[in-house]
Amino acid sequence: MQTMDIIVLVVKTFFFLVHKILIKTSRVVNPACFSNSINNTTSMIFRYSFILCLVLFCAKTATGQMMVMPRFIDEYSILDSSRVIVQYSLEFVNDPNNPGSVDTDIIILEIGTKVSKSYSYSLLTHDSIATANKRSSGVPMLQIAVPPLEVFKNYPTGKNTIVHRAPLSAPIFLYQDEISMEWTILSHRRQISGYRCQKAITYFRGRKWEAWFASQIPVSDGPWKFHGLPGLILEVSDDQGHFRFTCTVISMESVPIKKWKWNYEQTTRERVNSILIRYAENPHAVAPQIGIRFGDSSFIGKSAPYNPLELE
């Protein structure tokens, strides 16, 4: 059975269960019992969501994708205020052995006076839903498999901070990263989102990247860890066609740039990469080492394809 068939089957099963729950709730006649019935129904739906999350996690892991659990985002510190917000569409290949299977996400880049933050809008959405249902039991909504990183440039001053969420309920890693990109600017030009852009290339940690930047927007920044060009990066892709960030919206908007008050595990980029590589090679063996507990023995001895943004 193909991965998509598994997902469709799981989703159909989930909605069948929800349907059965709603039928049960509709049979409540006594108004005094209605409120308690609704609370119980919500709890049951969240429990079934948790079961669906685990099943879908297994299907995703089998195809090299790693899902993370939602986190609460009601506590935070404000690092800066944005002056420009850029939205990018991200197309990416999770399984390098199956390059025809492309997933998508939305990446938000908030650029402040001092600090910028790049993050997944999909993860933010799921975290927001989890926070809104904080007092309910279970997992309120599924996480989809997207790059689970937040990149803070020039935080603290002169440095860069990376937040990397490990699979499922494993720790949230935090490390500082020296991001050095040496660009070669070429003469090629094209229009992107109404801006005249120029081409540049770089080799960064195992991949060759092609970027298009707009000198009309004098901000030396871009999605993920990309930066260092004399203008905002509006499009960037690798030469294998596994990752492509494309600007879709630019707005001059002021919002607080937030850093969530999570329980971080301070570490290094090298250690995080080592853990994720070992996890992909043998999920069942490595999971307990990073705080994941699941009893599915079908994963014993099996590996999962792994296609990180950084190969080195």
pLDDT tens-place string over residues 170-191? 789 999 999 999 999 999 999 9
The pLDDT of residue 73 is above 80: yes
Higher pLDDT, 203 or 12: 203
**Please, is 300 exposed, middle or buried when counting C-beta atoms within 10 Å of its C-beta (0-12, 13-18, 19+)?**
exposed
Q: Are residues 168 and 239 in the same domain?
A: yes
Q: What is the pLDDT of residue 288?
A: 61
pLDDT for residue 9 is more than 80: no
pLDDT attached to residue 253: 94
Residue 244 has pLDDT above 50, yes or no: yes
Per-residue pLDDT, 81: 98
- Give a yes or no: residue 284 inside a domain: no
User: Which among 206, 236, 252, 240 is positioned nearest to 89, based on CA atoms?
Assistant: 236
Based on the fold, state whether residues 120 and 8 are members of the same structural domain: no
pTM: 0.78
Residue 26 has pLDDT above 80, yes or no: no
Residues 195 and 101 in one domain: yes
Residue 34 has a pLDDT of: 32
- Predicted confidence band at 247 (pLDDT cuts at 50, 70, 90)? very high
- Are residue 24 and residue 133 in the same domain, yes or no? no
- pLDDT value for 129: 87
In a domain, 156, yes or no: yes
* Residue 291 covered by a domain: no
Task: Give me the CATH number covering residue 200.
Answer: 2.50.20
Q: Are 54 and 111 within one domain?
A: no
In the chain, how many domains are there? 2
Question: Mean pLDDT over residues 52-63, rounded?
Answer: 42
Identify the domain containing residue 118 by its residue range: 68-266
H or E element at residue 256: strand 256-260
Q: What confidence tens digit (pLDDT) does each residue in 253-285 have? A: 999 999 999 999 999 999 999 988 887 787 766
Average pLDDT, the chain: 79
The residue that leads in pLDDT, 155 or 97, is 155
User: What DSSP string runs through 151-209?
Assistant: EEET-STTSEEEEEEPSBTS-EEEEE-------EEEEEEEEETTEEEEEEEEEETTEEE
On whether residue 299 sits in a domain, the answer given is: no
Same domain, 107 and 195: yes
β 160-165/232-238 pair status? unpaired
52 lies in the same domain as 185: no
96 and 46 in one domain?
A: no
Based on the fold, state whether residues 49 and 195 are members of the same structural domain. Answer: no
